[in-house]
Each structure stands twice: as structure tokens, then as C-alpha cells.
Structure 1
Amino acid sequence: MAKKMYDVNINRNFCKKCGICYWICPTKTIVKGELGRPEIPDQDKCIGCLMCENACPDFAIDVSERKAVKENV
């Protein structure tokens, strides 16, 4: 069975750059970028724990499971 993959989306219109998301992320999928802006350099590191989504005071983060792509072998 394949590992589940997740996409982390940050709504830049809602985000106030408080830093909670990159402070709480256990896999460092979200990291501190320029001027404290949260950045996601590698989506594949996300384990789907939803800690960032639940902790965000601005409701700016959405974590969703990627749809499985079937490979024809």
C-alpha cells in the first residue's frame, strides 16, 4: 500500500505571519521564509497530522490528501 501524500495550502490573504505553523510542524514541512512568511519547500514531507491547520488562528492553512494516481505497469 502506498504512503498517503498531502498538500499544504496557505491562504496568503488570511495569513498574518505569526509563525505558529512552522513552530509546531513536526516534519518542518512549513518553514520560516523571508520576513517571517511561512514557506513550503517540499510538500512531500507532510504527514497529514493537521497540527498546523488546527493551530492557525487565522484559518489560513488547509491540508488535504492528494488523490492517488494509478500507474499502469
Structure 2
Amino acid sequence: MAKVVFNENLCKGCGLCVGACPKNIVALKDELNAKGYHPAGVTDPESCIGCAFCATMCPDCVITVER
């Protein structure tokens, strides 16, 4: 099973990863990070297929996919 790790403190909440996820399991959180943005996170880690589309789309390289 793949594990997606977001560096939430660096995430700007642009949402590109949200739209890139084919399983629709990436979403922006309700909480704010230290920079005042809503960081992205995985809503259902068990459903992640490890495609890394989210990491590929991230302009700030804050997403890591571990397989």
C-alpha cells in the first residue's frame, strides 16, 4: 500500500493535487497551516493507489509518495 506524505507547513493550498487524484481522496483541510493556507491531505489513505499524480502536479514539491 502506498503512503502519501504532505509537508503541510509548506503547502499553499493551491488545490492542483486535489484535481489530479483519480481516486478523489485528496482534499484541502479545514485547518490553517503556519502560513495561513488550508493544506492538502489524504482523506482515505487505504484507497490510495500510489500513482503519484498529486506529487507530480504540486508546484512546490511538498508531496512525497512512499511505496
TM score, norm. by length of structure 1: 0.73
Contact 1:14 1:59 in 2 (8 A): no
Q: Which runs of 5+ in 2 are unaligned?
A: 32-37
Give identity over the alignment, percent.
36
Shift of 1:18: 0.4
Specify the structure having the higher radius of gyration (Cα). Answer: 1
Shift of 1:13: 2.2
CA RMSD of aligned residues (A): 1.4
Mapped partners of 1:38, 1:64: distance in 2: 17
Q: What's the counterpart of residue 17 of structure 1?
A: 13
TM score, norm. by length of structure 2: 0.79
Q: How many residues align?
A: 61
Q: Which runs of 5+ in 1 are unaligned?
A: 66-73
Q: What's the counterpart of residue 2 of structure 2?
A: 6
Contact 2:17 2:26 in 1 (8 A): yes
